[in-house]
Chain A
Amino acid sequence: MLKLKLFKAEKRSLEGGTVAGRLTVLDIDKCVGCQLCMFACSRRFGEGGFAKSAIRVRSIGGVERGFTVIVCRACPDPPCMKVCVTNALSLRKAGGVTLNPSKCIGCGRCVDACPLKAVFWDNEANKPNICVHCGYCVNYCPYRVIGLREAR
């Protein structure tokens, strides 16, 4: 039976980029597709829905076959960063990127560059949603499918 340890909103991780960990998938076979992680990610900004979510859970061709979690894997040499024309994406210490929204012009090249399709799009802000590895979602996964690991 699951143990749910609820997260006490810590400012630093909500802002992102200061935790030296990275989000990883621990055991995808335990995933039930509840999408609580996706909702948690948008809730960092105090809203519901998925508009701000940087993680997506989808079935692999029908729920009978199970699920896949699509999220940034914290590349040490991020392809998304390299294609950004305005240098809006900078390298995190633990891999992956942080977005500087004031520099981002919403061109969407990072979306195409990510081999995992883990750069999502916020239509309302016209900016990418990329995981900052804050770990907020981890605390809401009822089945310990995802976890925060030390940097490689």
Chain B
Amino acid sequence: MTLDKILYIDLSKRRFHVRSRPDLFEKHIGGTGVAIRLLLEECPEKADPLGPENPIIFAVGPLTGLFPMASKTVAMFKSPLTGNLGESHAGGRSASAIRMAGYGAIVVKGTSETPVYLAIYGSDVYFRDASGIWGIESSYTVGRIIRELESEAGLRTIMRIGRAGEKMVSYASVVVETYRHFGRLGLGAVFGSKKLKAITICGKHSVNVKNPQAYRILYDKILQLTVKSQVMRKYHDIGTSSNVIPLNELKALPSLNLRQTSIKNAENISGENLAEKHLGRRVSCSHCPVACIHLATLREPYEDEPYFYKTTMVPYDYEPIYSLGSMLGLTETNELLKLIDEVETQGLDAISTGVVLAWATEAYEKGLVTSMETMGLELKWGDGEAYREAVRRIVSQPNEFYSTLARGVEKAASKYGGMDFALSFGGSEMPGYHTGPAAHLTFLTGARHSHLDSAGYSMDEDNAKTGTKMTPKQIAEALFKEESWRQVLSSLVVCFFARGVYKPDTVLESLKTVGFNPDITLEDLNRIGVETLKSKNAFKAREGFSHKDLKIPRRIVETETPLGILEEEFIRKGIEEFFRLLQ
């Protein structure tokens, strides 16, 4: 079975066809490299992100289904949040399911008139009526129903939206296998605009390699590297939430809308404490030994029955702990878990939701918005109940204020004021690192405005440890190099946690072993990485992005980082340098 088959689905006409596109995969590997080409082909200029013309593209790569931690799917679309490039990665079983269904990529276009969900079984595609599950309160229930309706449990992926996606909240997520997400940049809203409630995909195609003997040997080597890596221990035992305490101690944990960089009682919401008191289960993406997904058990007493508890499993990670915990002053463990659960139930991106609520709380405190706008809801740091209600209202949008919050923090601040403390980067809400200039340069210059684009936070952390000072130019160069290489990793597609395993040599060897391209060299890989990054930025420029328009939120230069107070001038220079490299 080959990777180069692309499944095109048109929801308006309820038709589909398959095209073989070996050119695309040969040149751009797969994943993000192929997805950006497809986006450039399929998304008309200045398309409405919520219109039928906005395509949803899923892509996997040549290592998918073959090697450990080649476990992610890349989704691309035009983002309703930023009005520009939308890209999000998710694991679960999505990647292997797409590949075993016989595809390297899937393109979904059009809009259905009535709610629909797609069931893809290899070469068969069914458009199933979803009117019965449209409007269901909880994204969990939707998963439960589809699990019963469709077959091949264990081989399939089920991607679905919650109410937030149906109501087209600009940062609605797509939930995959319950605890993974296409979280950022609003893919859920794009699903909702197409009346697409869910997609399930499965297949049983074999994935052949050129050299089976060498494949088995290399597989063992890669797996050995993976299980021996530090990442394995760190992310298995405690998970990404092991970052809470170190960042708090470093004074880099954004708290109370980044008025502070550490918070009292941080140990309550630390990975260590959550593991000790609440950890109920660890789960993994398909083909990943790490099992970084941590589920907490939340026990809530039933009011009408003594000694009886409702037990809910709540996924936790560093990012939701930051955005819904420290940012909102919510350090009571149960309250934090309840808020995370609400966000999951509604199907929202946790980071954006937290940052929006943090802005709203400060705006309320400062009197920019009053109880008239909030409809009587008193937004107060640490008040979990109020925040849960606010989340529900962001989804139901009972008035203009909540519908504005549903468009993201930048839209909210441009309407009600408070832009200085609206933590928006290129239209997307801030990830959880106030480590120094490199982190913020990542948020500003990264193609997705995500901390994962070029991981400046980790550069800051190293610099804080060693006392190194870097110039804007040096930072820009390092970020550019990192972001370019990450294009290669997300074209393969491997999980970024495995970047220490998939070093250039290993990547080359694996591509040769599977028969992708026997002559591929490191120069080729590096070139493809840079080209992919440039293509993404070409798409952004086409859609009206200019780095000159990037706003630097005042708050980030007011609150000290571990590397001192940041200067706007310094950051501007970094931006200039970065975009010079892109030319």
Residues of A within 8 A of B (CB): 1-2, 4, 6-7, 9, 32-36, 38-39, 42-43, 45-52, 56-59, 61-64, 66, 70, 121-124, 140, 142-143
Contact = CB atoms under 8 A, between A and B. Distances in A.
Interface stretch (B216-224, B268-276, B349-357, B540-548): B216-224
A151 B282 CA distance: 32
B287 A35 contact: yes
Contacts of A1: 233, 236-237
B213 interface: yes
A43 B216 contact: yes
19 contacts: A2-B289, A4-B227, A32-B284, A34-B284, A36-B68, A39-B65, A47-B206, A47-B212, A49-B65, A49-B96, A49-B204, A49-B205, A50-B100, A62-B143, A63-B178, A66-B281, A122-B204, A140-B223, A142-B291
Contact of B205 (A9, A51, A140): A51
A34 B220 contact: no
A141 to B, nearest CB: 9
A47 B207 contact: yes
A46 B227 CA distance: 22
Nearest to A52: B206
B178 A124 contact: no
Interface in B119-175: 140, 143-144, 147, 153-155
Contacts of A58: 153-154
B284 A33 contact: yes
B227 A62 contact: no
B186 to A, nearest CB: 25
Contacts of B177: 63
A6 B206 CA distance: 23
B209 interface: yes
Interface in B396-419: none
Nearest to A65: B313
CB-based closest 9 A-B pairs: A46-B212, A58-B154, A51-B206, A48-B207, A49-B207, A64-B313, A48-B66, A32-B291, A34-B284
A4 B228 CA distance: 9
A61 B147 contact: yes
Nearest to B92: A63
Given A48-B65, A48-B208, A61 B144 contact: yes
Contacts of B154: 35, 38, 56-59, 70
Interface in B290-328: 291, 295, 313
A62 B148 CA distance: 11
A123 B152 CA distance: 13
Interface-central residue, B68, B96, B284, B285, by most chain A CB under 10 Å: B284
Interface of B: 1, 65-68, 93, 96, 99-100, 140, 143-144, 147, 153-155, 177-179, 204-209, 212-213, 215-216, 219-220, 223-224, 227, 233, 236-237, 281-289, 291, 295, 313
A70 B154 CA distance: 10
B245 to A, nearest CB: 21
A6 B287 contact: no
A36 B287 contact: yes
B144 A64 contact: no
Nearest to B148: A61
A32 B208 contact: no
B519 to A, nearest CB: 22
Contact of A34 (B99, B147, B287): B287
Contacts of B178: 62-64
A64 B295 contact: yes
A51 B122 CA distance: 12
Nearest to B228: A4
Contacts of A38: 154
A33 B253 CA distance: 32
A50 B204 contact: yes
Interface-central residue, A47, A49, A58, A142, by most chain B CB under 10 Å: A49
A8 to B, nearest CB: 9
B179 A63 contact: yes
B288 A34 contact: yes
A66 B216 CA distance: 29
Contacts of B66: 48-49
A47 to B, nearest CB: 5
A121 B65 CA distance: 18
A143 B96 CA distance: 21
Given A4-B289, A46-B215, A56-B155, 18 more contacts: A1-B236, A7-B220, A35-B286, A38-B154, A42-B206, A43-B216, A45-B212, A46-B212, A47-B208, A47-B212, A49-B66, A50-B96, A50-B204, A56-B154, A63-B283, A121-B204, A123-B204, A124-B205
A138 to B, nearest CB: 14
Contacts of A143: 291
Nearest to B71: A34
Contacts of A62: 140, 143-144, 147, 178
B1 to A, nearest CB: 8
A38 B284 CA distance: 14
B207 A142 contact: no
A49 B287 CA distance: 10
A50 B155 contact: yes
A143 B291 CA distance: 10
Nearest to B154: A58
Contacts of A121: 204
B291 A34 contact: yes
A63 B313 CA distance: 10
Contacts of B67: 48
Contacts of B236: 1
Contacts of B68: 36
A4 B225 CA distance: 11
A144 to B, nearest CB: 12
A88 B93 CA distance: 34
Contact of B289 (A36, A49, A51, A63): A36
Nearest to B315: A64
Contacts of B206: 42, 47-49, 51-52, 124
A122 B205 CA distance: 9
A4 B221 CA distance: 12
Contacts of B215: 43, 46, 48
Contacts of A122: 204
